[in-house]
């Protein structure tokens, strides 16, 4: 597996070599492949063309397993849409996925809406960064108001298994960090499960946090 990943680096441009690597990785289970998606998305940048065996394999596996491979692939591609060296290629792959995975697109649209709303709050909270008390009150007020905007049920970008149906505003706060990440507590859609707490960062590269 490790040698196949190495063969997809920019040091190997021979198509036969890269196709061998893709064929090897394509035999992996969804669980194992999902753990390698971060590296494989980066390997897409080394492909000579937008239409490559690697791109096709990833799209095929994403369409076959939208809530596992598709979910992670979507967010990994979208996280780099700002990068000039990835914008066109990743945008094309996102478009192709959305074209073929319409039922999953509805799920992703909810995630995008929730993320956009949290981003607005995170950016707004920066105005109060010199007053922790006022900042906390402002964030909790905005989180409570957000309750009316959220979908009845939604999953989180972190994992398609995190199903939520609201926010616990009283438990949300801004953490003490330069980027002022927000500690967000969601209500678990599973009545038998506990609350789901996540750290929402805005304007930071989260790839360093992926393990």
Q: Is the pLDDT of residue 170 over 60?
A: yes
Q: What is the structure's pLDDT at 211?
A: 44
Digit-coded pLDDT (tens) for 44-85: 999 999 999 999 999 999 999 999 999 999 999 999 999 999
Q: What percent of the chain has pLDDT over 70?
A: 95
Residues in the chain: 211
- What the chain holds in terms of domains, given with CATH numbers, is 2-100 (1.25.40.70), 110-209 (3.30.1010.10)
Q: Whole-angstrom Cα distance, residue 204 to residue 65?
A: 29
Give residue 132's pLDDT band: very low, low, confident or very high (50, 70, 90): confident
Q: Whole-angstrom Cα distance, residue 102 to residue 95?
A: 11
The model's pTM: 0.89
Q: Whole-angstrom Cα distance, residue 120 to residue 8?
A: 38
Q: Whole-angstrom Cα distance, residue 92 to residue 98?
A: 10
Backbone angles phi, psi at 180, to 5 degrees: 50, 55
């Amino acid at each position: 597996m490790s040698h196949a990943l190495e063969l997809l680096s920019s040091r190997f441009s021979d198509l036969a070599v890269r196709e061998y690597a893709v064929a090897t990785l394509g035999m992996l289970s969804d669980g194992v492949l999902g753990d390698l998606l971060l590296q494989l998305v980066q390997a897409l940048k080394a492909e000579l063309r937008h239409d490559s065996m690697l791109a096709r394999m990833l799209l095929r596996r994403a369409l076959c397993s939208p809530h596992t491979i598709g979910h992670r692939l979507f967010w990994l591609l979208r996280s780099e849409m700002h990068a000039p060296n990835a914008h066109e290629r990743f945008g094309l792959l996102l478009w192709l996925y959305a074209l073929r995975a319409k039922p999953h697109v509805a799920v992703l649209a909810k995630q995008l809406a929730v993320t956009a709303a949290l981003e607005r709050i995170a950016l707004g909270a920066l105005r109060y960064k010199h007053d922790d008390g006022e900042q906390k009150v402002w964030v909790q007020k905005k989180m409570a108001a957000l309750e009316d905007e959220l979908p009845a049920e939604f999953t989180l970008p972190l994992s398609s298994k995190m199903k939520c149906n609201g926010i616990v505003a009283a438990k949300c706060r801004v953490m003490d960090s330069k980027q002022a990440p927000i500690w967000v507590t969601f209500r678990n859609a599973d009545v038998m499960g506990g609350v789901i707490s996540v750290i929402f960062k805005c304007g930071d590269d989260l790839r360093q946090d992926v393990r």
